[in-house]
Amino acid sequence: MIDLIHIQILSAIMFCIGVYGVMTRRSAILILMCIELMLNAVNINFIGFAAFRDFSESQRIFGHVIVVFIITIAAVELALAIAIILRLYKNKSSVNIDEVDLMKW
């Protein structure tokens, strides 16, 4: 049978893949995708806990509800990030974040 531990390990691996991607990818759009991966890993974890822990029903529902909110926030974040990327592309003709270092000293 599937157990909580399977879900947790899947989520951990997926999260680490996302982290690695954020650290190595150059294109802003790819970094965005990696962030979506990380958020999904977290979602899997939440649903796993809601499904397997000895919770009452309303506590389970809490796990589901928070996933709904995370999806909402992910959508928000995506919308703003895409907007920023397009603005960046307009100004710099590139979405390579190595070339964007305006926030240095």
Partner 1 sequence: MISLIIFYIISALVLIGSAGVIFSRNIVYASFSLLLALLGTAGIFVLLLAEFLAIVQILIYGGAVVTVILFALMLTKIDDFRSLSNINYWPISAFLTLLALIVLIIGIYQTKIDTQNLGLVKFSKFSNDLFEYWGIPFEIASLVLLVALIGAIVILKDRGNDS
Partner 2 sequence: MGINLTYIPPIICGVSFVLTALFARKVPLASSLISVFTILCSFILFIFILTDFLSSDLNSIKFSIDWIVVSDMRITWGILLDSLSVTMLGLITLVALLVQIYSISYMKGDSRFGWYFSVHSLFAAAMITVVLVDNLILLYFAWELVGLGSYLLIGFWYEKRAASEAAKKAFITTRIGDVALLIGIILIFKSTGTFDISSIFHIARNGGISENILTISTFLIFLGAMGKSAQFPFHVWLPDAMEGPTPVSALIHAATMVAAGVYLVARMMPLFSLAPYVLDFVVFIGLFTFIFAGTMAIVMHDIKRVLAYSTISHLGLMMMSLGFMGVASAIFHLIVHGISKALLFLGAGSLMHEMDGETDIRKMGGLINKMPITAITFIIGSVSLAGIIPLSGFFSKDEILLTVFEKGGILILLPALAGAFLSSLYMFRLTFITFFGSLKNDNSKVGESPILMTLPLILLALLAIFMSILLLEISTFKGFIYFISGHKAHLNLLLIVFSSILSFVALILAWFIYIKDSKYLIDWYKSKMKWNYNLILNKYYIDELYQYIINQIIIRFAQFVALFDRLVVNDIGVDRSSLSIRFLGLRLKLIQTGKMHGYAISMLFGFLILILTWAIL
**How many whole angstroms from its chain centre is CA 22?**
10
Residue 100: which of partner 2, partner 1, none does it interact with, CB under 5 to 8 A by kind?
Answer: partner 2
Cβ-based nearer residue to partner 2, 59 or 96: 96
State yes or no: residue 72 binds partner 2 (CB under 8 A): no
**How many whole angstroms from its chain centre is CA 47?**
15
Residue 91: which of partner 2, partner 1, none does it interact with, CB under 5 to 8 A by kind?
Answer: none
Own/partner contacts of 57-62, CB < 8 Å, gap of 24 or more, are none
Length of the chain: 105
Site for partner 2, rule CB under 8 A: 19, 22-24, 31, 97-98, 100-105
